[in-house]
Structure 1
Amino acid sequence: MWNEKLVSVLIEFEFVQSKCDTSLFIKNVNNVFVVLLVYVDDIVVTGNSLSEIEKVKQRLKTKFLIKDLGVLQYFLGIEVLSCADGICLSQRKYCTDLLTEYGMLGCKPVSVPIEQSHVVNNMLNSNSGPLQNVTGYQQLIRKLIYLSHTRPDIAYAVHVLSQYMHSPTSGHLKLAFNLLRYLKSAPGQGLLFTKSDSFEIKAFVDSDWAKCLTSRKSVTGYCVFLGNCLVSWKSKKQSTVSRSSAEAGYRSMCAAGCEIVWIKNLLSELQVDVTVPISLFCDNKAAISIAANPVFHDRTKHFEIDLFFLRDLISKGVLKCVGVKSENQVADLFTKGVLVKIHNMLCKELKLFDVFK
């Protein structure tokens, strides 16, 4: 009922509800552009006219009891910090509170969130038995999932841990506490957003074939940049088993394609012109060849829907697949554990920045 009331009031104020994100409201009248982002009863408002923003606030006051907190500094546990290069989104307080809660504030930090040699399975062996406090494990992982909103560097480790929410072992808990030790090394690290003249979208996509030893499902990983800034990323186990690394890579490209289309449509609603075709960087040559080849054959007939979807985007000029060397594949961070040197290099590519250092 609250949401219905708020939506009706905003529509009355000439706002249009976004079709891509129903929590976003846009007003574009006579070159005046105002955007509201709503989460329950917390609202962020921005635009190109301070007078119009003030007018929106005053009109909201006539309908609701509101409190104006001024310039955006804190929203849903995320700190918005100004720095010399732009703004940084950080969850430093949330992270330090988490470390304090689990007694890890004084621990010895580690350099990577998950070791390169880790094995994804149920970890039931002589040294790792079922965990007694399942609820405590679930609470910790939920908090780490929320922290990953500004920490793409922990996305893969959180993805691994969240697969065992209902049957964790002491080995999984050890991995979770290793992740807390990694967070201790830089609790204030967050995403840096800098000004740029370019609104070019580009995406990096990767997969790790048959990564899960239990189900033999592969892992999809991708990250999407707007200009030089990271705006979307994902690390997720694929829903079906792939018969080859090419198929796993192709399914990952389709997942990234869906996200790119959504971002493109959202930017269109925000009056941002997007240059097409959008580059999709992949290091799997076989997957790129399948995307470019219009002929169906035995290797591809069992994943026909994905073939139609991605090839349709390519034929319409929305996407173009670009080969990239494995050492320059930024999405590696979302599909596997990597060495310290590579991890630090990829974090730099993702524009992770610690404004507190």
Structure 2
Amino acid sequence: MFGSDRMLLESAIGLVEAGARVVVALPSRGLLDGELRSAGAEVVIIPMLVLRKVLLTPRGLPQLFRDTFRGLGAAWRLIGKVRPDVVYVSTIIIPQWPLVARLRRTRSVSHVHEAEASGSRLVNSILYSPHLASERTLVNSRFSLDTLRAALPALARRASVVYNGVASPSQPAAPRPRIEGALRVLYVGRLSPRKGPDLVIEAASRLSAAGRAVDVTLLGAVFDGYEWFERDLREQADAAAITVDFAGFHSDIWPFLTEADVLIVPSRVDEPFGNTAVEGILALRPVIASDSSGLREAAGGYETARLVPAGDPAAIATALTDIDTRWSEVVSTVAESRAEALRRHAPAVYRATITEHVLG
């Protein structure tokens, strides 16, 4: 599940715990469906418009019109059947729900998880504008709020920042007391050029060329149509003679963090927030993250986190060398960093805050 999926799940858990009846409308079955049901929510699968880039091309226009009309009808009928006190919309890419809720005279709350400051201001304005129909807007970072303000100031003026809640094991495994053998580096996320897993391999190859062995694990898979990128990554690893484990997708990342020494979050592009970086800190592991967008908020202010320029494998290699060289000093601060991350991002705090905004 993506970060926004996990936050929808946490929001649903908080609302269920508060005693609310929670009915979640999804466009399709998947991992989120089962997790929501286990949390005590009711799940209905109905047609809805989900904005994708392909729908904005000539080839995608027929589906855009079809999904728009089917989605409007399905949303209208569901709200009429359930008669909710509030409609909570957990992403900007399903734009019809705030509008239908307003027409149904039902209060709605929009939760914005998406922000791309480098994108077109006009496109951002169009994406955000349906949520003017909501009575309240929540965003997941100051960066997201600033992006929203640049695109649609009227919406930003009534928005509140609610940092993501990030779950973790109650007693994560301690890091190795000393590095014996290769330095173990972990990447978690989609295998895509935007996310930068190739930068991890390049940084590892630089350390290898300097005589420091590094083992890399790439935990994630490609989207359909991006199989070429995984082939490129494998060729890059072979050419550099770097040990890279293509672990594929796993819903449980914690065993991989247990085996890792360092987590790298090397996104080239804007990230609204950085759940993965927080997970690394909660797992008692030093983190290297791009010094940009929401990642700066997610990983900033921790002794065990290093922020590096986005898209710079040399800077990643330098940070890895520094962590490796000062390992004993670094690991002595991981417990303190975890305590701070729990204070900022404990799921219980997130759930309570969401419940207050939605039901209040």
TM-score normalised by length of structure 1: 0.24
Q: Which has the higher strand share?
A: 1
Question: Which protein is richer in helix relative to its size?
Answer: 2
